[in-house]
Amino acid sequence: MRLSGEAWIGPERLFPPLRLALAAGEWLVLLGPSGVGKTTLLRLIGGLPVAAEFRGQITGHMPVALMAQDPGLMPWATVAANITLGATLRRETPDRARLASVLDQTGLAPHAAKRPAELSGGQRQRVALARVLMEDRPLVLLDEPFSALDIGLRLRMQDLAASLLRGRTVMMISHDPVEAARLADRILLMTPAGLEEITAPAGKAPRASDAPEVQGAAAALTRQLVALA
Amino acid sequence: MIRVSVTVLVLLALWQGVILASGLPPFLLPSPGAVARALWTHQGVLAVAFLKTLTETLAGFALGAVIGIGLALQMAASARLRRWFGPVVVVSQTIPIFALAPILTLWLGYGMAPKLAVVALVTFFPVASAFHDGLTRVPQARLDLARVMGAGRWAMLIRIRMPSALPDLATGLRLAAVLAPVGAVIGEWVGGSEGLGAVMLHANGRMRIDLVFASLALVVVLSLGFQRLVAGQLAARLERYAG
């Protein structure tokens, strides 16, 4: 999966010519100030419509699964029906055994028959994560999925996502330097000048949030983000 | 219920007060008592008329709702259809219904059909317009998900956009429910020998103002009952389903 090109919104350039390649199995975290085009980049990779005009090319398109800050649950459907939504939309028979194991992995089994309105914010994000697992796509796109959660819940969701999405290619947009330092195999800082590669801390993700190398990397990232603001 | 009773009693007292204070003769403004007597003496005629108007309201509303829902789905599914049909739909609403009703009677006769047409004509528009709005304003997160999941246009419409738009459809049905009984009475007034509108027209011609007011009271009861019990329940059910 490779993208190279630039994006324009009318006469204004959204991002300059840049190259992005995703290696199979890596967890990439994209950080950067608001309005720099991170979400546009993610949507281009996901084949979703964008407001900007993209000039360039994308090769090696892969089927993706998507999870964003808005969990995008269908309020009329039960948790189970939300998780199997993809199969329903494609007119396939949902894999019941797989659903059971996904419900189990995400701890949602007791809530399978509930509707989203009956769930807490953290539980709703778990449904969104369960849906990503159910879709079983090679590339997972995460657009600030945990930014609306409180810090404790966020750390737990990061652990859960890291363990359940292991082995898949993940591209994650984040505003949280600690999140990037905990989860990333590779960190990219997106600035108006383009993409800047940042070395991720050593060790296997999810790294402890209070580990010195995580703290150090997060502090360095924070300094860079503050300088850009 | 208490609030409603108090309001009704206060209005009735005001009404009686106006008569006592102004000394208006009963053939201009009948007293609440006279209207109650008219309701009682003409109960047979009024009951038949009430049922007739109720039937027209229900059937016309159902017809208008089905047409409105169908039109909204069609227009949401096809941009070309929207460009062609949209202006026609708007123009249909610029024609005063009082001018159109006699023509409909001319075309469709004096039976039930022109009344249904009038009710359908005034109800389909709020339904179509509100539902279409809902179908085109689905939260982006839902559309994005459906797209990456590989939903086709049909699945997107039926499984995502339609249920997302049900609260808007409920709003449209509530609006239509207010208009439906009015449409039925207009239809009867213009070309009919049955129903509350026709009773009113005849009573008016014979200067039986008490009977006109009695029919009016029944129209109000019918309207409120229809809004609350039929359309209100239907709308609430749609909203509950949509979550």
Predicted local confidence at residue B86, as pLDDT: 83
Is the dihedral angle over the CA atoms B210, B216, B222, B225 positive or is it negative?
Answer: negative
Say yes or no for a CB contact (<8 Å) between A76 and B163: yes
Task: Determine the residue among B148, B162, B240 to mutate to test chain A binding: the one whose Cβ has the most chain A Cβ atoms within 10 Å.
Answer: B148
Rounded Cα distance between B209 and B196, Å, is 14
Beta bridge partners of A67: A142
Predicted local confidence at residue A200, as pLDDT: 92
To 10 degrees, what angle do helices B43-77 and B79-94 make? 150
Write out chain A's pLDDT in tens, 229 residues. 899 999 999 999 999 999 999 999 999 999 999 989 999 999 999 999 999 999 999 998 889 999 999 999 999 999 999 999 999 999 999 999 999 999 999 999 999 999 999 999 999 999 999 999 999 999 999 999 999 899 999 999 999 999 999 889 999 999 999 999 999 999 999 999 999 999 999 888 899 999 999 999 999 999 999 998 8
Predicted local confidence at residue A32, as pLDDT: 93
Count of domains for chain A? 1
Give the pLDDT confidence of B43-56 residue by residue, as tens digits: 999 999 999 999 99
Rounded Cα distance between B99 and A45, Å, is 58
Predicted local confidence at residue A36, as pLDDT: 92
Q: Confirm if A143 and A39 have CB atoms less than 8 A apart.
A: yes
Q: Are strands A194-198 and A139-143 parallel, antiparallel or unpaired?
A: unpaired
Quick one: A156 exposed, middle or buried, by C-beta within 10 A (0-12, 13-18, 19+)? middle
A188 domain-assigned: yes
Q: Confirm if B149 and A85 have CB atoms less than 8 A apart.
A: yes
> Where in the sequence is the domain holding A187, given as residue range(s)?
25-50+140-229
Give the pLDDT confidence of A43-71 residue by residue, as tens digits: 999 999 999 999 999 998 889 999 999 99
The count of CB pairs under 8 A between chains A and B is 64
Q: Is the pLDDT reported for residue B34 higher than 80?
A: yes
Predicted local confidence at residue B243, as pLDDT: 80
| Cβ neighbours of B169 in A, within 8 Å | none
For the whole model, what pTM was predicted?
0.87
Q: Are strands A186-191 and A27-31 parallel, antiparallel or unpaired?
A: parallel
Query: How many C-beta atoms lie closer than 10 Å to residue B178's C-beta?
Result: 16
Predicted local confidence at residue B140, as pLDDT: 93
Q: What is the ipTM of this complex?
A: 0.90
Q: Confirm if A115 and B243 have CB atoms less than 8 A apart.
A: yes
Give the pLDDT confidence of B5-17 residue by residue, as tens digits: 999 899 999 999 9
Q: Confirm if A217 and A182 have CB atoms less than 8 A apart.
A: no
Asked if B83 has any chain A CB less than 8 Å from its own CB, the reply is no
Domain residue limits, chain B: 32-242
Q: How near does any CA of chain A get to the CA of B130, in Å? A: 19
Q: Confirm if A52 and A13 have CB atoms less than 8 A apart.
A: no
A113 domain-assigned: no
What value does the mean pLDDT of chain B take? 91
Q: For position A226, which CATH number holds?
A: 3.40.50.300
To 10 degrees, what angle do helices B166-191 and B112-136 make? 160
Residue B158's Cβ-side half-sphere holds a number of Cα atoms within 13 Å equal to: 9
Q: Mean of the pLDDT values across residues B99-126? A: 90
Predicted local confidence at residue A9, as pLDDT: 92
Q: Confirm if A108 and A127 have CB atoms less than 8 A apart.
A: yes
Q: How near does any CA of chain A get to the CA of B178, in Å? A: 27
Q: How near does any CA of chain A get to the CA of B106, in Å? A: 46
A98 domain-assigned: no
Fold for B32-242, please state it.
Answer: MetI-like fold (1.10.3720)
Q: Is the pLDDT reported for residue B91 higher than 90?
A: no
Q: Is the pLDDT reported for residue B192 higher than 80?
A: no
